[in-house]
Homo-oligomer: A and B are copies of this chain.
C-alpha cells in the first residue's frame, strides 16, 4: 500500500481493541526461570504468594503455558476510556531528519496518569475488587504508577494507599495532588504508619527515603490489614501480560496497512512497556513466522542489560521479596542522584532477561543529556513533550533513522512512546540550563552492587 494512504495517526475502532492479552512465555521454548523462595531456594508456590498478591494475579504470574488470557469485560470497558491509543506515523520527525526510514510510535501518554502504567493498574484493581478486597497498597517513586493506580482504584471504588518516596513527595507535590484528586491516600515514606518505617526513621532520622523502603512499608500494610493486598507496576510477568495490549494494538494497526516493522525499540526500566510492546512480534519470531530486531534502551547510569549479571537476585532493596533470575546490578545498586526520571530499577523482567540471554533481543545504554536532546528535538517537530523514560527510545530511534540516512535503507522503525513529561519539567529545566550531567558507573561502582547478589549453588555469574 502506498505511503500516502497512511494517516498521521492510525486509530483502531473500539471493537478492535484486543479482548485477550498475549502471554509470550507460552511460546518460549526455554521459559524464564521461576521465582525462588529466598529461604528454601525452591520455586515459589501460589499459596506462598497469595498472602501478598491477589489470587488471580498470582495465577497469571505463574502461568507460562496459556498463550492467550481473556480480558474481563469490565477492564475492556475501562480501556475504552483511553484506548485504543494512536499509532503515529512520525512524518514530521522523518522530514526533520531527512531520513528514508519510516518511523512509527505507539503513544501511551494520552491519559491522565500520563503513561502506559494505567493498562496494568486497571487490571490489578479489577482483580482486587473481584476478590472482594477493600483496597490495595503500593509504592511510587516518580509517581506515574501511583497516579495510574489511583485512577484505577477510584473507578472500582477501592481504597488505595500509596507510599511515596519522601524526596519525591516533597519535590513532586503535583503528582501527589493528582493522586489525591483520585481519592488515594499518599504517605511520604519512611513514615510512622508502619513498623518498618518507624525502625528506619529511628535509625536514619533525616532520611529522604528510597523505593526499597517504600516497598517494604506498602507490603507491611498489605499483609497486616484484613482485605488488602500489595500491587506492583512493573517487572512482574503479570504486568508484561497486561501491557501486551500495547503490542497487540500496534500490530493490529500496522497489519491494517500492511506495515511490517524492521525494528522495534523501547525503553527498559523494569521492562513492562517494552515487554508489552514487543510481545506479539516476539511471539512471531519465536514461532519462526517473522523476524524483527528488538532493541531495549536503558540509561547508562543504570545499565542492567548491558553491564549487569544474569543471576538470581532480590527484586527489592530490602531483600524481602522473592528471588528472580534476571539481569541485575545487585539489589543494593542505586543510580546516581543526577539521574532524572524513572528506569532506576536494579534488575529487569525475568521474561526479557531470558529473551536477551537467548540472543533474541539487543540492548543499548544511552546517556541522559543525549536523551534530553532527542526529547527536545522530538517535541519540537512532533508536538508531544515526551517523558524522560520514553525519550530513551526516541534517542535510539533517531540514531537508527540517521544510520538509514547514511546507508539509504528505508527501514521501518517502531518505538514505544510510553508517556508525557508534564511532571518532569525540573529535569528539562536542568537540561536547558546546562546543569544536567551524565553519569556512568565505574566498574568499581558496579562491583559493589554485584557483591550483594546472593551466592548459592546454581547461581554462578
Using a CB–CB cutoff of 8 Å, the interface residues on chain A facing chain B are 7-9, 11, 13-14, 80-82, 92, 110-112, 114, 151, 154-155, 173-174, 177-178, 180-183, 376, 379-385, 420, 422-423, 425-426, 428-429, 432
Contacts and interface: CB of A to CB of B under 8 A. Distances in A.
Contacts of A420: 112
Nearest to A89: B80
A428 B151 contact: no
A112 B181 contact: no
A86 to B, nearest CB: 9
A182 B380 contact: yes
B383 A112 contact: yes
Given A154-B380, A379-B112, A380-B154, A385 B13 contact: no
Contacts of A428: 177-178, 180-181
A7 B12 CA distance: 12
28 contacts: A7-B13, A8-B80, A8-B81, A9-B14, A81-B383, A111-B384, A112-B379, A112-B385, A151-B383, A154-B380, A155-B381, A173-B425, A173-B429, A174-B425, A174-B426, A177-B425, A177-B432, A178-B422, A180-B429, A181-B376, A181-B379, A181-B380, A181-B385, A181-B428, A182-B379, A182-B380, A183-B380, A422-B422
B178 A425 contact: yes
Provide the main secondary structure of the chain A interface. Answer: helix
Contacts of A432: 177, 180-181
Contacts of A380: 154-155, 181-183
Nearest to A174: B425
A201 B177 CA distance: 36
A385 B178 contact: yes
Contacts of A111: 383-384
| Number of chain copies forming the complex | 2
B422 A384 contact: no
Contacts of A174: 422, 425-426
Nearest to A80: B8
A430 to B, nearest CB: 10
> Nearest 6 A-B pairs (CB), nearest first?
A174-B425, A177-B425, A422-B422, A8-B80, A112-B385, A7-B14
A385 B114 CA distance: 11
Contacts of A426: 174
Nearest to A113: B383
A220 B155 CA distance: 51
A111 B86 CA distance: 13
Contacts of A7: 13-14, 80
A150 B383 CA distance: 10
B11 A11 contact: yes
Contacts of A151: 383
Contacts of A183: 380
A342 to B, nearest CB: 17
A424 B11 CA distance: 30
Given A112-B383, A151-B383, A155-B383, 14 more contacts: A7-B13, A7-B14, A8-B81, A9-B14, A111-B384, A154-B380, A155-B381, A178-B385, A178-B425, A178-B428, A181-B379, A181-B380, A182-B379, A422-B422
Most buried by B among A82, A111, A422, A423: A422
